[in-house]
Structure 1
Amino acid sequence: MNNIQVDVETGKTPTQVRRTRSPQGGVRMGDDLIVETRSLTKEFKGFVAVSDVNLKVRRHTIHALIGPNGAGKTTCFNLVTKFLTPTRGQILFNGNDITHTQPAAIARQGMVRSFQISAVFGHLTVLENVRVALQRKQGKSFQFWRSGECLNELNARAEELIEAVGVAEYRDTPAGELSYGRKRALEIATTLALDPEMLLLDEPMAGMGTEDVRRTAELIRRVAANRTILMVEHNLSVVADLSDTITVLKLGRVLAEGSYAEITDNPEVVEAYMGAGHGGAGHG
């Protein structure tokens, strides 16, 4: 298990701080839901991949969706992010029914799926990639003929974002030359340029080495300081360190939910993982 940092002011872990402190310093309501699903179900030609899932994601928390292979977590994630349409059920974002709303419209409302919506252009530099994302936010996408002076107005914010994700030293490096982990960090920067209220991360650590995993986990922790994150992640050490709440799926249904300590103390969860092989928190 990785070491968990403690906030020097409060003596609490980052997840504990997020539960009790708002970005403005006030006290948050722990039951303030940003996303809720009601009896969410997805069938594929008679096969039920997700069945009656009731998911509740609290504002300003990191909520992980895990499960053994074939659990339905990827399908559930695709339903919440609107890349799949549910067979039955309802999806709410900030109390509004988004069950039949398109992904682009959801992004404009503040719920953004990173690594999917964010575009990284390999021939553009790190700074240029983030600047293009900022243009998109302003409704000026792909206006490459605009004067350099006009585009440079976006530089200050772009540089803030690349500094925030730890790639400032690669400011003038083409994105295609970045390591895999730093490219993912750049993708988070382009997503943050859209100023989302909620980030949805689909296996953010997939394919990373140990150092990139550590760096990306720290980045997610920083990003979550004033946002909500829902993520599918197979690295259980990362899940343990980052998550406030974990939902475990098995065969398309919710098997358990709670803190990492609570779910790992659940015999059904242990059996589900051991039965699938302990590495079974991968795709599904």
Structure 2
Amino acid sequence: MNAAADAILSAKGLTKEFFGFKAVNKVDLDIHEGTIHALIGPNGAGKTTVFNLLTKFLTPTAGTIVFQGRDITGVRPADVARMGLVRSFQISAVFPHLTVLDNVRVALQRKAHLGTQFWRSNRMLDRLNDEAHQLIEAVGLTAFAGHDAAELPYGRKRALEIATTLALDPPVLLFDEPMAGMGVEDIGRISDLIRRIAKGRTVVMVEHNLNVVADLCDQVTVLARGEILAEGDYASVSSDARVREAYMGSEDE
């Protein structure tokens, strides 16, 4: 099988220099459709830079990025998001003083091209309610639909952010440290949510919690000093001597 041809998102020779320092150096990466793919590595590995390059928040110094067969290397982040390459927690529309339902309706209005049409009647916007409630149920927030977002516990806010991102119905979701700052209960809840929403979608995530990576991810790319150190399933990369050396026996970045 041609791995690149089978990839929904692919990077070739991806390089990023900052004032002569190569934070990412000639990275070749293939993300396959329908998988959960993690980028991991120790401090300074370049994984966040790769993530920002893939989502177009940074412009590569060299290399190409292809999404669904189209070269997006020079495409703006907003246009890439409209194509269906969506970075959660960065572009999701969550407003603290709107209810959970209204937050999701705002996101659905954007997809329906109603986002700037403030003269629309409530009756017209109410047509979005069924879909909004389906998304709210999908992320386990039905009991919180009438609550303001500001009232939600931290993990529930993350779930709401995922719901607003799902409103765009993207084929590829990218999560930047989705478990950061969470307790054990919230980690379990968000892990289960990501597993559910990944069905029929592709997920790319940067994650520090290696237990989460082991539990969720089909494919793991380990970065070190801006280059790919190892790739494969978690069992294979975690047993790689080079990976163990890079982490110096620690599961924390």
Work out the CA distance in 2 between the residues paired with 1:35 and 1:142.
31
Displacement after TM superposition at 1:196 (Å): 0.3
Partner of 1:90: helix, strand, or coil?
strand
Work out the CA distance in 1 between the residues paired with 2:41 and 2:5.
24
What pairs up with 1:252-263 in 2 under 5 angstroms?
Answer: 252-263=226-237
1:246 aligned onto 2:215 = no
Displacement after TM superposition at 1:144 (Å): 3.6
Contact 1:132–1:142 (8 Å) recurs in 2: no
Count of matched residue pairs: 251
Which residue does the alignment assign to 2:59?
85
Work out the CA distance in 1 between the residues paired with 2:72 and 2:50.
15
Which residue does the alignment assign to 1:206?
180
Work out the CA distance in 2 between the residues paired with 1:30 and 1:48.
24
Contact 2:40–2:206 (8 Å) recurs in 1: yes
1:140 aligned onto 2:149 = no
Name the Cα RMSD after superposition: 1.3
Displacement after TM superposition at 1:32 (Å): 2.2
Which residue does the alignment assign to 1:162?
136
Q: Select which of 102, 109, 113 maps to 1:128.
A: 102
Identity of aligned residues (%): 63
Displacement after TM superposition at 1:268 (Å): 0.3
1:145 aligned partner, one-letter code = W
Displacement after TM superposition at 1:265 (Å): 0.9
Work out the CA distance in 1 between the residues paired with 2:210 and 2:15.
26
Displacement after TM superposition at 1:107 (Å): 1.1
Which residue does the alignment assign to 1:32?
6
Cα–Cα, structure 1 residues 251 and 37, in superposed 2: closer, same or farther, change >3 Å? same
Cα–Cα, structure 1 residues 81 and 30, in superposed 2: closer, same or farther, change >3 Å? closer
Contact 1:31–1:58 (8 Å) recurs in 2: no
Work out the CA distance in 1 between the residues paired with 2:116 and 2:106.
7
Work out the CA distance in 2 between the residues paired with 1:195 and 1:278.
34
Partner of 2:248: helix, strand, or coil?
helix
Work out the CA distance in 2 between the residues paired with 1:200 and 1:184.
14
Question: What's the TM-score once normalised by structure 1's chain length?
Answer: 0.86
Q: Select which of 190, 195, 209 maps to 1:216.
A: 190
Question: What's the TM-score once normalised by structure 2's chain length?
Answer: 0.97
Work out the CA distance in 1 between the residues paired with 2:116 and 2:196.
30
5+ unaligned residues in a row in structure 1: which ranges?
A: 1-28
Q: Select which of 43, 46, 68 maps to 1:69.
A: 43
1:261 aligned partner, one-letter code = A
2:124 aligned partner, one-letter code = C
